[in-house]
Chains A and B, each alone.
Chain A
């Protein structure tokens, strides 16, 4: 007899809710760490955490739940690494803003549109970054994002649009987009 997804447990529940979202987890991990092997390590740690929590997951908004795990796992990884980093002043420079492993300066020096966009992400306020992750990286609608965050749709829109305008302005400052006529 087939089980409903909500009734699944253990590996079957993990396969149903988590495995189809690995590509999105990887995408968000790369936005946090930069395009490095560290992104794969972050997703691996996140998958282990997700598996351990899967039977307590309520079955709603799996993607948003998993993206939260990715971000929290990154915070814990940075916290664990911090004592080592504090011993080496030069190492602090590669942590970058918002715990990224590649500095914004490095990314700007790469001089590409994609690198500039990724660098801008690191400079966004946490609330704005969360909305960008859910909508642009996670593919959630405004309404889904509003439900996940417990805020009105208008708040999602304003945070998202303001964040993208910031990214767009950073592109202009990098010489990768023209001044906007207004």
Chain B
């Protein structure tokens, strides 16, 4: 019951003129840079500054995004760049790979 009360209070709480539930709906678009500049975005930014649970939520999504976008190791990338330079010669030597039915590449 206590958890339900807290949950209801959090959903209804409004900081900087926007509720936690609204922030939850918008925060991913904001972090993706897809939320247009304007009053709604300003309220969201202000809310994240003053609401600790929502601030933590934004940090988690930011870290998920950063993990997914992490650059691969430089040594492996260097090897692949060297391989790419040799691809015109290699492509003529190797057998054509199999194709996946119904999964065209362009």
Residues 121-138 of A at the B interface (beta carbon under 8 Å):
121, 132, 135-137
Residues 95-151 of A at the B interface (beta carbon under 8 Å):
113-114, 117-118, 121, 132, 135-137, 139, 141-142
User: What CA separation (Å) do A176 and B70 show in the bound complex?
Assistant: 19
Report the number of A-B residue pairs with Cβ-Cβ less than 8 Å.
Answer: 128
Given A53-B106, A76-B100, A142-B34, check contact A181 B10 (CB 8 Å): yes
Check if B67 sits within 8 Å of A72, measured CB to CB: no
Check if B24 sits within 8 Å of A182, measured CB to CB: yes
Q: Is the interface of B mostly helix, strand, loop or mixed?
A: helix
Q: Is the interface of A mostly helix, strand, loop or mixed?
A: helix
Check if A182 sits within 8 Å of B98, measured CB to CB: no
B16 at the interface (CB under 8 A from A): no
A76 CB contact (under 8 Å) in B53, B87, B98: B98
Check if B72 sits within 8 Å of A181, measured CB to CB: no
Among B56, B65, B84, which residue has the most Cβ atoms of chain A within 10 A? B84
A22 CB contact (under 8 Å) in B64, B69, B84: B84
Among B6, B68, B80, B84, which residue has the most Cβ atoms of chain A within 10 A? B68
Interface 0/1 of B67-97, CB less than 8 Å to A: 1111110001101110110011011001011
Q: Which residue of A lies closest to B57 (CB)?
A: A180
Interface positions of A (Cβ within 8 A of B): 10-11, 14, 18-19, 22-23, 26-27, 30-31, 39-40, 43-45, 47-49, 51-53, 56-58, 65, 68-69, 72-73, 75-76, 79-80, 113-114, 117-118, 121, 132, 135-137, 139, 141-142, 157, 160-161, 164, 167-168, 171, 177-178, 180-182
Given contacts A113-B63, A180-B24, 11 further A-B contacts (CB under 8 A): A27-B72, A39-B76, A40-B79, A49-B105, A58-B106, A69-B105, A76-B100, A79-B98, A114-B70, A139-B69, A168-B60
